[in-house]
Amino acid sequence: MSNATVEEKWSPEWSNAVFSLEERDRRWALVRKLMAKAGIDVIVCFPLTHQHGRGAADSRYLTQLGENSDEVTVAFPLEGEVTAWLSRGGVWPSSNWFTDIRAAERGMGGKTISTYLKERPALAKGTVAIAGLTSSPISHIRSFEGVVNWGSYETLRKSVPDAKIVSATPVLGEARWRKSPEEIAFLRKGVEVAEIELKALYGHARPGVPERELYAHMMFANAMAGGSFHPMVGWVSGPRTRPYHRLEQPSFRKLQHGDVVSVEVEGIWGGYHAQIDQSMAIGDAPPEMLDAMKCVWDAFDRVVAAMKPGVKVSELMELAERTGLVGGRVRTGLGMHGRGTGNDGPLLVARRPEPPEVRDLVLEEGCCFNVKPSAGIDDVDDYMRWGDSVVVTATGAERLGTRPKELPVLK
C-alpha cells in the first residue's frame, strides 16, 4: 500500500483544467521534431509573468504550469526528462504531465538553468534555445524586443560560455500556430467564461454605478465559472463622442447617461486565453450608433466567411475596410490577433498599415484568432466594436462563441 500523501501525487481532486497525456505526447513530439530540424539540444524558459501571464506562453504550452502567473522555469531537452522549477517542488494543480518539479528561488531563472546545464556537460556545450528571446509575426507579438530578463540571460551566457545560445521563438511559434482539437476545446471554454463575465457586466451596468463595482462583478463571475486569474479586461468608457482611452483596470469613475462602454473581455481556461469584444450604450443610443455597429457586424461576417486555409491576412484586411452611412461617416477596419497560451499573432489594429511579413501570413487549419472589427465615425476613431474568437477549419471558420450580435442599451 502506498504511503504517498496528497501532495506527492497529482490527483483530479486537487486540480485545475488540464490536458490529456495524449495531448502532451503530441506537443512534445512536435516540438522535438522542430528542435531536431533546427539543431537545438535544449529549450529553456525563464520566469515570465507579465501581461496577465501571457508572457509565459511557451512554458505553459510545454508544461501547463504557471497558474495565475506563478513563476515557472523549464528545461525541455531534445531527449530525456522534462524538468520544471516553481516556488515549491512537487505536485501542483496542473502537474499531471510529469513529476520532476523542483523548488527554486524566485527571480533566479538564470541561476537555476545554469546549474541544470552545468550538471549536464553535453547540454552545456550544445545549442540552448531561450523561449521568448525574440518575437515573430506569430509569437510574442506584443514584445517586439523579446520578453527575456536581461539578468537571467547574462547569468546563463556567462555560466555556460561554450553553449551556443539562440532564440526558441521560431520553433515554439510554429508549434503553437496550429491548435489541436483539445486546444480548440479549451479556447471554446474560455469564450464561454468570457461570455459569463460579459453577462455580469450587463446585469449591473447602469448610470451611477462605479466602474470598480462592475469590474468586481465580472471577476466574481469569472471565478464562479472556473476561469483562471487574472483575465484581461480592456476597458474604454466615457461620453460616446469623447471616451477616455483604454485601461486594463477600473478607475473611480461612475457610469453616466450618454456613455459608451467598449470592452475586450478575456476568458482563460487552463491557461488558454480566449477573447470577445463588445460595445454598449448607457442610458440611450442614437441611431448612428446602431448603424455603426451594423457596419462592424457586416465586416465581421465578411472576414469570417473568407477565413479558409490558404487565405492571406492581407485579403482579410481588405474585406474589413469599408465606409458607410451618409457621406461615408463610418469607416471600418480589422482588428485581429491570435489566441492560445499567450500573445499569438498576427496583431492587427483596425485601419493601421501592416508590414509585408504580417500581410503575407497564410491561414492554416487549426489557427485560432480573435476577430474584432471596429468602426470609427467622424473624428472618433474607435466608436463601435464587436468581436469573437474563431477557429479556421478545413472548410472555413467557426465562431467559438454563442452570443448574438446586439447593441445593448443599459438603463
Give residue 2's pLDDT: 36
Give residue 308's pLDDT: 97
Q: At what angle do helices 21-38 and 169-177 cross, to 10 degrees?
A: 140
The predicted-structure confidence for 246-265, as pLDDT tens digits, reads as follows 999 889 999 999 999 999 99
φ/ψ (deg, to 5) at 12: -65, -10
Whole-model pTM? 0.95
Q: First and final CA of the chain: distance in angstroms?
A: 63
Q: 226 burial class (0-12, 13-18, 19+ CB within 10 angstroms)?
A: middle
Q: Is 221:229 a contact under the CB 8 Å cutoff?
A: no
Rounded distance between C-alpha atoms, residue 366 and residue 362, angstroms: 12
Q: Quick one: residue 364, left, alpha or beta (phi over 0 = left, psi -120 to 50 = alpha)?
A: beta
How far is residue 394 CA from its own chain's centroid?
A: 23
DSSP class per residue in 265-284: EEEEETTEEEEEEEEEEES-
Q: Which domains does the chain have, with CATH numbers?
A: 21-176 (3.40.350.10), 181-410 (3.90.230.10)
Rounded distance between C-alpha atoms, residue 375 and residue 304, angstroms: 17
The predicted-structure confidence for 71-110, as pLDDT tens digits, reads as follows 999 999 999 999 999 999 999 999 999 999 999 988 899 9
Of 220, 233, 236, 230, whose CA–CA distance to 266 is shortest? 233
Give residue 7's pLDDT: 57
Of 261, 280, 284, 255, whose CA–CA distance to 411 is shortest? 284
How far lies 82's CA from each of 44, 296, 334, in Å? 10, 46, 40
φ/ψ (deg, to 5) at 182: -65, -40
The predicted-structure confidence for 173-222, as pLDDT tens digits, reads as follows 999 999 999 999 999 999 999 999 999 999 999 999 999 999 999 999 99
How far lies 231's CA from each of 217, 270, 351, in Å? 13, 12, 27
